[in-house]
Structure 1
Amino acid sequence: MSAVVIRWSKARKRYERQGVLVEQPALELAEEQCLADEDVRARQRERAREKRAVEDVDFQKRMAQEILRLFPGCDANRAEAIAEHAGTRSSGRVGRSAAGRALEENAVTLAVVASIRHLDTPYDELLMAGVPRAEARERIRTQVDEVLDQWRRPR
C-alpha cells in the first residue's frame, strides 16, 4: 500500500507533492528486488558501453573519410585526429551535434576549422593574452582560410 503526500503551499496557492508513504514490508521488498537484478543491470550497462564504443569508432572513421573527401589535401593522420576530437561522445563539440552525426558538410567543415584555429594559428595565445574571442577569430581568419584553401586542393 502507498499514498502520495501533498501539502497546501500558501505562497504558491497550490498543493505540492511532498513524497510517498509506503508500508515497511513493501519498501523492503522493493529494495530486495532492486538488489536481485543489480548484476543483470550492470551487465546490460557494460554491453551498452561496449556497443557505444564500437559505434563511436565507426562514426569517427566515417567522419575522417568525409574530411578527406571535402579536404583532399589534408593529411590522413590529421583527418583522423580531427574526427576523434570532434566526434567524442558527450563532448558538446560540433561533431556530436545532429548535423555532425549526419556528417553534413557544414558541420564537418566547422570541425576542420576549429582544428586549424587551435593547431595552426596563434588563436589560443591570443585568448590567453586577453584578446576577446571575436577579435581573436577575426585576426586569424586569413590564416585559417589559407590552410582551408591548401587542403581543398588534392595533393
Structure 2
Amino acid sequence: MDLVAPVVVEPLKRRRCSECHQGPLERMIVEFNAPVCLDCADLGHLVFLRRGDTALTRRARENSALWAVVVRHNRRRTRYERQGLLVEEAALARAELACLADAEARARRRARDAVRRAAVDAAVTALLRAEIQRLFPSCPEDRVTEIAVHASTKGSGRVGRTAAGRSLDRGAVTAAVRASVRHVDTPYDTLLMQGVPRHQARTRVAPAIEAVLRAWRLGGGDTRGRGRG
C-alpha cells in the first residue's frame, strides 16, 4: 500500500488558521482552500527537519509513524519546492544516533582510503622516478625526485597521472623531463614574461633543452642552470 504524506506549506503571506484563528502561521496545511494550523491539523507534535542530509532524512522518515512534506512556493520558478520534513521527535533522535554511528564508520573508512591512496601515489612516484633514472642516468638525484613528484601529483593532470605516464611510456616520461628542463634550465619563462609567443619561445629554447637531455642520457653530468640568460 502506497503512503500519501500530508503536504505542509510555508506561506509567503501572513495567514491565520481558519479554525482557531491563530496566526500568523509559520506552516500550515490547506483544507477546502482554507489555511489550517498544524495544531488543528493534528501535526503540531512533529518537529521540522530541513532538507540536505539524505541519510538523516531517510532514517527519520522510516522511523516516524506520521510525517509530512514541507514545501514553499518559489515565485520566480512558479513552483513549490521541498524544504524538508515534519517527523516525530523520537524518530529524529533515533535517526541522529544512527547517523552518528555511520559518521564514525565513514571517518574510519576515509582514513583507510587516504592511507591506501597515499601508498598508491608513493608507488606511482617511485616507479616514475626509477624510469627517469633509467632513461637519464646522469640527471642529478634531486632533479629526478623533483620531476617525479611534480609529474605524479594527484589531481594535477600532469604526465605522471595519465594512463601513458602510469604505464611508464617512454614518450610520456621524456615529456615530463623535457618540461622540467624547459622551465628550470632555459630562459623560457623569462621569454614568456617578455611577451614572446609560446611557440616562438619553445623554438628558441629547444636546442638548449636537447643539449641537457643529451647530457643526462650520455652521462654529461649536472647541467643545472645552463641556458639561463
Q: Shared topology, TM-score over 0.5? A: yes
Match of 1:72 in 2: 137
1:147 aligns with 2:212: yes
Task: Give the unaligned 5+ runs of structure 1.
Answer: 4-17
TM-score with structure 2 setting the length = 0.55
1:44 aligns with 2:109: yes
- Taking a change above 3 Å as real, the CA distance of residues 30 and 114 of structure 1, as seen in their structure-2 partners, is farther
Match of 1:101 among 157, 160, 166: 166
Match of 1:122 among 179, 187, 204: 187
State the Cα distance separating 1:93 from its structure 2 match.
0.8
**RMSD between superposed Cα atoms in Å:** 2.9
Moved more, 124-133 or 96-105: 124-133
- Taking a change above 3 Å as real, the CA distance of residues 145 and 19 of structure 1, as seen in their structure-2 partners, is farther
Letter of the aligned partner of 2:135 in structure 1? L
Number of equivalenced pairs: 145
State the Cα distance separating 1:97 from its structure 2 match.
0.7
State the Cα distance separating 1:154 from its structure 2 match.
3.2
Match of 2:146 among 62, 77, 81: 81
Deviations 1:71-116 (A, max 9, x none): 1121222111110111111111111111111111111000000100
Q: Which has the larger radius of gyration?
A: 2
Does structure 2 conserve the Cα–Cα contact (< 8 Å) formed by 1:64 and 1:83?
Answer: yes
TM-score with structure 1 setting the length = 0.79
Matches within 5 A, 1:126-137: 126-137=191-202
State the Cα distance separating 1:35 from its structure 2 match.
3.1
Residue 117 of structure 1 aligns to a residue whose secondary structure is: helix
State the Cα distance separating 1:62 from its structure 2 match.
1.3
Which structure exhibits the higher relative contact order, with contacts defined as CA atoms closer than 8 Å and separated by 6 or more residues? 1
Moved more, 32-41 or 134-143: 32-41
1:63 aligns with 2:128: yes
Residue 89 of structure 1 aligns to a residue whose secondary structure is: coil
Does structure 2 conserve the Cα–Cα contact (< 8 Å) formed by 1:89 and 1:96?
Answer: yes
- Taking a change above 3 Å as real, the CA distance of residues 100 and 2 of structure 1, as seen in their structure-2 partners, is farther
Match of 2:203 among 117, 120, 138: 138
Task: Give the unaligned 5+ runs of structure 2.
Answer: 6-80, 221-229
Deviations 1:55-81 (A, max 9, x none): 212221111110011111212221111
Tell me how far apart the structure 2 counterparts of residues 66 and 77 of structure 1 sit (CA, whole Å). Answer: 15
Tell me how far apart the structure 2 counterparts of residues 2 and 139 of structure 1 sit (CA, whole Å). Answer: 73
Does structure 2 conserve the Cα–Cα contact (< 8 Å) formed by 1:2 and 1:21?
Answer: no
Residue 37 of structure 1 aligns to a residue whose secondary structure is: helix
Sequence identity percentage: 48
